[in-house]
Amino acid sequence: MTSANRDPEMFPDPDTFNINRYPNLHVAFGAGIHHCLGATLARLEGQEAFKSLAERLPNLRLEPQELEHVPSITFRSLKALQVSWN
């Protein structure tokens, strides 16, 4: 799924985070008969979480850092993400 979501034939400039990407036919919630049952809840939670974060920490910014990923053949995730908000 992670490589499908970065398929250059499907997504122009696939490694760029583009919140306005449209159409965005990703498969992060799977597809077909086993499509994620919690996708609507997960989207709602994401909207509320990022909205609250932006409201409560308006100065939130990334610290300069080397990013390290958790070794995994399934999902790609960061070991840590350093931020500051002062």
For binding to ligand HEM (CB under 6 A), which residues are involved? 28-30, 34, 36-38, 41-42
Which C-beta is closer to ligand HEM: that of 42 or that of 57? 42
Provide the minimum distance between the beta carbon of 50 and ligand HEM in the complex, in angstroms, as a whole number: 12
Distance CA 12, CA 27 (A): 16
Provide the minimum distance between the beta carbon of 84 and ligand HEM in the complex, in angstroms, as a whole number: 25
Which C-beta is closer to ligand HEM: that of 36 or that of 57? 36
What b/e string do you get for 5-16 counting C-beta neighbours within 10 Å, with b at 16 or more? eeeeeebeeeee
Per-residue tokens: 2: 């992670």
